[in-house]
Chains A and B, each alone.
Chain A
Amino acid sequence: MKSLAVYWGCYILTSQYQYELSLRETMPKLGVKLIDVEEATCCGFLLESIDKFASTYLAIRNLSLAEKISKDLLTPCNGCYLSLSEALHRWRVEESTRSKIASLLRDENLFFKGELRVYHAVNFLHDSLGLRKISEAVVNPLNNLKLATHPGCHILRPSEIVSADDPENPRKLDELVEALGAETINYPGKLDCCGGPLLSLQPEKSYLISSRKINELERIGVDGLVVSCPICFKMFDSQDVIRRVAGGKASLPVVYYTQLLGLALGFKPDTLGLNLNQSPVEKLTSKISC
């Protein structure tokens, strides 16, 4: 069994429980053991707007806690993946940042070598575990589903720091969905941002941004939208807000990739937290046997 550290980040630990449930359920079935990074904190994403060094320090501190338990770290959140990857990059190339942070870490008896590999769920599943292993584990193929994927911004850009997939033509999440037997579509707004990082600053209007993709996909006609980031998920799944803020009749199932994976591996919907999705996922689950 392959084991690796898992860093969840704020959104998953405090509210996006269905992402955590579905990852915790599915990974052991694929031969992966997850070890939680204890005493982790925010990845530092929020602090980028107020203090760059503090943001890097928080990220490296989390990475040093992870390095104590594994050579590899998995984070299921796009925002955390960028923060941690960027901090690791800075640690490797900026001597002054490295020595300042090393000294702060020493106060807590922490030490960071910087040899850790950071994966997002998408490139871990696609590149490290592999599509074949996933498709071989499928017991309930999702043959009747036509789905759109939303890779999200921070596993793609800036491509000099994060390289989970091709920044202009990402395909990995689509291939992961196809490995479960479902069909994926290409659509013009695939690379559009969900608006999530604006959620706290613009609690209502930020949903105008996510509404565009939901309404576009409703017009095209798909069985659901597959997401791999907790913030993107919240922006697309909260369709009562989308209907109120942007008008329209948004009613599109939105699921985490790991929930979809769980269905294909034979788990029951509630075990994967599908009852916690606010979008009408029964429209999707009714098309498959589960």
Chain B
Amino acid sequence: MSLTDLMSSSKAVKDLKIKIKRLAEKNFDYCFICGKCTGGCTSISYFRLEPHKVVNMAKLGLVNELLTSDVLWVCTQCHKCAERCPQKVSPYDLIMLLRREAFKSGLKRPTPILLGVRNILKNGFILDEQTVFSRDLDEFNRETLSLPGIPKPSEKFLKKLSDFLGLGEGK
């Protein structure tokens, strides 16, 4: 997974940079590319996520390339980059902000995330209750383990959340 090819980069879009900068809670212009974020990034070795590049592409206004990149979606959300940034930039917050913008604009809507949201709108949780197996392959569930049932949130609340997210059934 690679973020950009410098020989074929699109042009910077100043308006988009201004928009992202307004939405960002931390000022990413303060980045002086020390590289501590990328040095400690959980996703660098297997997924080539380089947080300092994300930050500097945003600085340059190459926002469209970021919004369409798969790189935003390989962050493990470990928060190390934000914790260790000497300039208090928080690449993490920027990556999450870009995810939300990509999702809202429909440029990227990863299926697993949509499935999780659908499940929240169905029963309040990202997952359904599962049957599990012991190491001896005996089956167990909440009932056989004498665990109490999971109370469902009210239909009224789920409907409200669904309207709110604009992702209700049929959309």
Contacts and interface: CB of A to CB of B under 8 A. Distances in A.
Contact of A49 (B43, B113, B153): B113
Given A21-B147, A46-B113, A193 B161 contact: no
Interface-centre pick from A50, A153, A205 (highest chain B CB count, 10 A): A50
Interface stretch (B3-11, B12-20, B54-62, B122-130): B122-130
A89 interface: no
A15 B165 contact: no
Nearest to A280: B135
Contacts, number: 150
A127 interface: no
B111 to A, nearest CB: 9
Contacts of A13: 125, 129, 142, 150
Given A209-B42, A209-B46, A276-B140, A49 B135 contact: no
Interface stretch (A37-45, A115-123, A171-179, A180-188): A37-45
Contacts of B160: 104, 107
Contact of B145 (A21, A54, A202, A206): A21
B168 to A, nearest CB: 13
Given A41-B124, A157-B83, A197 B145 contact: no
A286 interface: no
A153 B145 contact: no
A104 B134 CA distance: 42
B99 A195 contact: no
Interface residues of A, number: 55
A17 interface: yes
A195 to B, nearest CB: 5
Contact of A54 (B43, B115, B140, B164): B164
Contacts of A51: 100, 103-104, 165
Interface string B30-58: 00000000000011001100000000000
Contact of B83 (A11, A159, A205): A159
Contacts of B73: 201
B46 A10 contact: no
A39 B157 CA distance: 10
A285 to B, nearest CB: 12
A193 B42 contact: yes
Interface string A44-87: 00111111101001100100000000000000000000000000
A196 interface: yes
B152 interface: yes
Contacts of B150: 13-14
Interface-centre pick from B77, B113, B157 (highest chain A CB count, 10 A): B77
Contact of A50 (B78, B99, B134): B99
A269 to B, nearest CB: 11
Nearest to A200: B112
Given A13-B125, A201-B112, A278-B135, A39 B117 contact: no
Interface string B149-167: 0111110110011001100
Given A21-B147, A275-B135, A200 B140 contact: no
B52 to A, nearest CB: 18
Contacts of A205: 46-47
19 contacts: A14-B129, A20-B147, A21-B147, A42-B126, A46-B113, A49-B100, A50-B99, A61-B157, A107-B160, A153-B79, A157-B80, A192-B42, A193-B76, A193-B78, A196-B76, A200-B115, A201-B74, A202-B74, A275-B134
